[in-house]
């Protein structure tokens, strides 16, 4: 019997890359399975995009037309505006062949409505960690059962227990969406939606988050959680227009000694003010380490969801006087970075990151220690998780944030940044040893008989049993 699944990823680059990688894993794991990705166009015309073929064997793509990309849209309202296009695409697919179910991205939960219309089972692809999924369920339970609204903990020193963590979690590391009174109902509603699905595919590994998976298995009101990670798209690293820049960057790395370069990169929305940029430059120069720095100007806080960061027009005006000349032999400043290619390069010894979950998994996969400097989304939780819970990252400042829900933290000092850089660049330190061990576990999980490989097959079997 053939099994056809439809995936609906969020239009963010990281989410689409992860979804495509998962879809490829699935079709490779079972000859009966085929997958169609319904691709919602990005809200940002300047976003890097993939060049999608019509199909790759049993993996097919359905590209939706560009919808209303008005900057007046919030992310949530933009997803809502795509419903008619998604509905039409699912209808067309259903006419061609029977569908076994729909897998919706964690930010596309409103698409459950479309699955219900077609009487199709629905699953969630959760692109962050299992521990953070547990936090979302826990926050919802606190509200529904105890009437505790965690947004009321904003600007407090409160700590509370989270069942997927071994230590008390500080409220100042909650994501801004949970600390915003306006957005808190959305958080609770999304967690309820997760519970309403047939199962949750999570981009994690059993050996990395055993406590979280034990928590899920003991709860009757949580659907099956499948740890099938690490889901990594290691072959797509930008687009053809960046080939020349990529070659230039890798050529520079080829000239550097092994594990001598600290790499700074902060994701598709990561940018900083002029003052913060100067502090970072001071820290890099003081540390004495070679560096590759992906640097962009931050969008104004109120416009963060409307436009991605831009280039600084004149670096000499932004950076400390003489910085470019003094570091010309040991440093390179770039805008775009081929992150996967950089992290796998033997010259790279440490990674200063915004703690996006994809970036964390990529760095662990290549055994590169990280320094945590979160900016938005769930990155503050990820920073706490990596630094305090797992001991797999050094800290720059785990409660830093910069977004249009809560605002902006104070400037991170050169001293904090330098301390984090030195922590990840210590050649024989405990951090590097722990990261290497976890890297091995991530590789083993995807091998035949590994935990994620077995779980992926279990998911396919469960899909077969739920076919309408």
CATH dotted code for 3-234+446-465: 3.40.50.2000
CA atoms of 20 and 37, how far apart (whole Å): 8
What does pLDDT average to over the chain? 91
Per-residue pLDDT reduced to its tens digit, 139-175: 999 999 999 999 999 989 999 999 999 999 999 999 9
105 belongs to the catalytic site: yes
Q: Give the model confidence (pLDDT) of 62-95 as tens digits.
A: 999 876 656 566 888 889 999 999 999 999 999 9
| Mean pLDDT on 318-345 | 96
- Domain(s) labelled CATH 3.40.50.2000 in the chain stretch across 3-234+446-465, 242-427
- Specify the pLDDT at position 299: 76
Instruction: Give the mean pLDDT of 351-370.
Output: 97
pTM score:
0.94
> Over the stretch 406-457, which tens digit does the pLDDT of each residue have?
777 889 999 999 999 999 999 989 999 999 999 999 999 999 999 999 999 9
Higher model confidence: residue 385 or residue 309? 385
Contact 144, 372 (CB under 8 A): no
Looking at residue 12, its pLDDT comes to 78
Q: Is 85 noted as a catalytic residue in this protein?
A: no
pLDDT band at 46 (very low <50, low <70, confident <90, very high): very low
Question: Does the pLDDT value for residue 305 go beyond 70?
Answer: no
User: Out of 15, 138, 289, 354, which one is annotated catalytic?
Assistant: 15
- List the catalytic residue out of 28, 30, 73, 105: 105
Average pLDDT over residues 27-51: 78
pLDDT of 460 above 50: yes
pLDDT at 51: 61
Percentage, residues of the chain above pLDDT 70: 93
Reply yes or no on whether the pLDDT at 50 is more than 60. Answer: no
Secondary structure (3-state) at 316: helix
Is it the case that residue 362 has pLDDT exceeding 90?
A: yes
**What is residue 48's predicted lDDT score, i.e. its pLDDT?**
44
Return the minimum-mean-pLDDT range out of 27-36, 347-356, 380-389. 27-36
Is it the case that residue 43 has pLDDT exceeding 60? yes
Residue bearing the bigger pLDDT, 409 or 99: 99
Helices (H), 265-312: 274-287
Report pLDDT digits (tens) over 377-408.
999 999 999 999 999 999 999 999 988 777 77
Q: What is the pLDDT of residues 373-383, one digit of tens each?
A: 999 999 999 99
Q: How many residues are present in the chain?
A: 468
Q: State yes or no: pLDDT of 364 exceeds 80.
A: yes
The pLDDT assigned to 70 comes to 60
pLDDT value at position 14? 80
pLDDT digits (tens, 9 = 90+) for 214-259: 999 887 789 999 999 999 988 766 555 578 999 999 999 999 999 9
Predicted local distance difference test score (pLDDT) of residue 84: 94
Q: Which CATH architecture has domain 242-427?
A: 3-Layer(aba) Sandwich (3.40)
Contact call for residues 95 and 129 (beta carbons, < 8 A)? no
């Amino acid at each position: 019997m053939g099994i056809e699944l439809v995936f609906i990823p969020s239009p963010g680059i990281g989410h689409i890359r992860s979804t495509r990688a998962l879809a490829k894993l699935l079709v490779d794991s079972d000859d009966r399975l085929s997958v169609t990705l319904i691709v919602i166009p990005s809200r940002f015309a300047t976003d890097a995009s993939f060049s999608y073929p019509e199909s790759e064997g049993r993996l097919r793509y359905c590209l939706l037309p560009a919808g209303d990309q008005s900057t007046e849209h919030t992310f949530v309202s933009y997803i809502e505006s795509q419903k008619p296009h998604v509905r039409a695409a699912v209808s067309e697919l259903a006419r061609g062949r029977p569908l076994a179910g729909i897998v919706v991205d964690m930010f596309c939960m409103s698409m459950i409505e479309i699955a219900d219309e077609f009487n199709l089972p629905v699953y969630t692809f959760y692109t962050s960690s299992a521990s953070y999924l547990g936090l979302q369920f826990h926050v919802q339970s606190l509200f529904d059962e105890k009437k505790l609204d965690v947004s009321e903990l904003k600007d407090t020193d409160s700590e509370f227990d989270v069942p997927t963590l071994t230590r008390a979690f500080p409220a100042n590391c909650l994501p801004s969406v949970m600390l915003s009174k306006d957005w808190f109902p959305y958080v609770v509603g999304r967690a309820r939606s997760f519970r309403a699905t047939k199962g949750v595919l999570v981009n994690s590994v059993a050996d990395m988050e055993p406590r979280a998976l034990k928590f899920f298995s003991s709860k009757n009101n949580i659907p099956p959680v499948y740890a099938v990670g690490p889901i990594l798209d290691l072959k797509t690293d930008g687009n053809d227009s960046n080939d020349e820049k990529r070659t230039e960057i890798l050529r520079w790395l080829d000239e550097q000694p092994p594990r001598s370069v600290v790499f700074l990169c902060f994701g598709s929305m990561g940018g900083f003010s002029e003052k913060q940029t100067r502090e970072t430059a001071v820290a890099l120069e003081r540390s004495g380490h070679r560096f590759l720095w992906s640097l962009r100007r931050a969008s104004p806080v109120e416009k963060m969801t409307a436009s991605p960061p831009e280039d600084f027009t004149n670096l000499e005006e932004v950076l400390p006087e003489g910085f470019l000349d003094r570091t010309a032999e040991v440093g390179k400043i770039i805008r775009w970075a081929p992150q996967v290619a950089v992290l796998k390069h033997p010259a790279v010894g440490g990674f200063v990151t915004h703690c996006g979950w994809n970036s964390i998994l990529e760095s662990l996969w290549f055994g590169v220690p990280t320094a945590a400097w979160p900016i938005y989304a769930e990155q503050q939780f990820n920073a706490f998780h990596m630094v305090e819970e797992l001991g797999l990252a050094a800290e720059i400042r785990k409660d830093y944030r910069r977004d249009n829900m809560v605002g902006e933290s104070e400037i991170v000092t050169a001293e904090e940044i330098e301390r984090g850089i030195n922590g990840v660049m210590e050649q024989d330190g405990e951090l590097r040893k722990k990261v290497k061990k976890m890297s091995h576990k991530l590789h083993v999980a995807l091998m035949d008989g590994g935990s994620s490989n077995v779980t992926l097959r279990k998911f396919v079997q469960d899909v077969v049993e739920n076919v309408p």
